[in-house]
Amino acid sequence: MATADLDPDLSARLFQSAVHAQSLAHAPYSRFPVGAALLGEHGQVFTGCNVENASFGLTICAERAALFAAVAQGVRRFRAVFIAAPTKGPVAPCGACRQVLAEFAPELVVYSRGQSGEVARWRLDELLPHAMGAADLELGGESAAASDES
Ligand SMILES: [Zn+2]
């Protein structure tokens, strides 16, 4: 499921959601607004935008904002994330977001589009090979993400 291309109409709608989220970003310091739309396994869509803070280290990226919104609503399995960035071409998620997304969806499909309209598509495990996970913490082997499915 995770490796199949999505329906073009669905992809277009998800990029539209990401662009709308991008318009809501709070990025007065970087002036680098980003939006993300995360597709849950049953078609649910969760959006996020980057939210910066004058204390820069407290800033959160769009991808993590979308993921945390989904988890807060009980959704922990995802098919794809769509990213809209102000760059000319597509941009991949930052390292922190790759790690956080991998906690729940190591095979997530990542779509990204910049201002040129060019779309990039990666699998998360291509962007973050050998990710650290719950099993590395020797918590008994079962993934913490999978231990209390909703
Ligand atoms: Zn990030």
Residue type for 38, please?
L
d(CA 98, CA 110): 10
Number of domains present in the structure of the chain:
1
pLDDT (tens digit per residue) in 61-79? 999 999 999 999 999 999 9
pLDDT (tens digit per residue) in 26-65? 999 999 999 999 999 999 999 999 999 999 999 999 999 9
| Cα 105 to ligand 1 centroid, rounded to whole Å | 15
| CATH number of the structural domain spanning residue 72 | 3.40.140.10
pLDDT band at 4 (very low <50, low <70, confident <90, very high): low
Range of the domain at 51: 8-137
| Cα 97 to ligand 1 centroid, rounded to whole Å | 4
Classify residue 123: in a domain, yes or no. Answer: yes
| Cα 50 to ligand 1 centroid, rounded to whole Å | 8
The CA-CA-CA angle for residues 62, 68, 70, to 5°, reads 105
The counts of H helices and E strands in the chain are 4, 5
